[in-house]
Homo-oligomer: A and B are copies of this chain.
Amino acid sequence: MKFQVLVLGTNAALPLKGKITSAQILNADDNLYLLDCGEGTQMKIEQYRIKRNRIKAVFISHLHGDHCYGLPGLLTSLSHHHRKTPLHIFGPAGIRSFVEVVLECSNAYLGFEIHIHETDTTQHSKIYEDQHIEVFTIPLLHRVPTCGYLIRQRIRGRNLKEDAIREYHLTIPQIKQAKKGEDIQTATGIIPNAQLTKEPQKPRSYAYCTDTVYHPEMIPLIKDVDVLYHETTYLDDLESEAAARMHSTISQAARIAAAANAGRLLAGHFSGRYADVRVFEHAGKALFANILAAEEGLVVDI
């Protein structure tokens, strides 16, 4: 089962040299979810040939422009692309008036429904689920109400042993029963479920945490996450600037990843002053070995 993230943009504050601000696509078995939507996100969606009408929901971390100014243009372009299926949009209080006022000022009539959900950024709670994923808010600490999102795969039923299924020539209804863990009655006797299925794969999880000052309160909420995206606007020499602007340094992000026992740290939301963001991988590895600097176009299997 596919569970991966594609980085569309990771610049802090403003686009630079063709790179945009925050946006990522989470892909769960070809069901797509957009995390943040900086200006130019729709151009990157076109550039990377993302099937835009497969985007089921948008999750906005906070309403600073570098995380949401691309949303109105994405919505009107989805409409130009004949989208008919509803779209769910999650974000902190204010996202409703942002979207609605912009669409109203620009006289934009969308050919599909949008459902805007204002999230309580102070609570850790489940805000979304469908067949493929469930999504929980992660309270963060920034200059405006902000939350991260923990996205967990939903694994339905046990995993089939393909060889056994073929051997016993099971029907579709029987296969469905087996996935639920039931024994199967056939003409020749009962097949114990253990012969047909095995324990399902552990659901994988991704935590998207931007923007935030160093905030250890998030650690228990993201415990054992497979991949943690954590903002690292600055290297450690600018720790006081990070604190003043309520951003994090690479060491702070690495400390969070280590304490949460994350599988991997995806670092991003880099200040424009860093020409080569690989420096973040080196700078953090004493505290947490498995760091990857997010760059546009990067695909990470979770």
Answer whether residue A43 sits at the interface, using C-beta atoms and an 8 A cutoff. yes
Identify the A interface with B (CB < 8 A). Answer: 13-18, 20, 39-40, 42-43, 46-47, 63-66, 68-70, 72-73, 76-77, 80, 94-95, 97-98, 101-102, 105-108, 143-144
Select one of B17, B20, B43, B65 contacting A15, CB under 8 A.
B43
Q: List 5 A-B contacts (CB under 8 A).
A: A14-B76, A39-B43, A95-B105, A98-B102, A101-B101
User: B106 near A73 (CB under 8 angstroms)?
Assistant: no
Report the separation of the CA atoms of residues A3 and B205 in the bound assembly, to the nearest whole angstrom: 57
Q: Which residues of B contact A102 (CB under 8 A)?
A: 65, 69, 98, 101-102
Complex A-B, nearest 8 residue pairs according to Cβ-Cβ distance, in ascending order: A98-B105, A39-B73, A14-B77, A101-B101, A65-B106, A69-B73, A94-B105, A65-B76
User: A42 near B39 (CB under 8 angstroms)?
Assistant: yes
User: Nearest CB to that of A98 among chain B residues?
Assistant: B105
Q: Which residues of B contact A76 (CB under 8 A)?
A: 14, 65-66, 69
Report the separation of the CA atoms of residues A76 and B39 in the bound assembly, to the nearest whole angstrom: 12
Q: Which residues of B contact A101 (CB under 8 A)?
A: 97-98, 101-102, 105
Q: Which residues of B contact A40 (CB under 8 A)?
A: 39-40, 43
User: B15 near A63 (CB under 8 angstroms)?
Assistant: no
With known contacts A98-B105, A102-B102, A107-B64, A47–B18 Cβ distance under 8 A? yes
Report the separation of the CA atoms of residues A108 and B63 in the bound assembly, to the nearest whole angstrom: 10
User: B68 near A69 (CB under 8 angstroms)?
Assistant: no
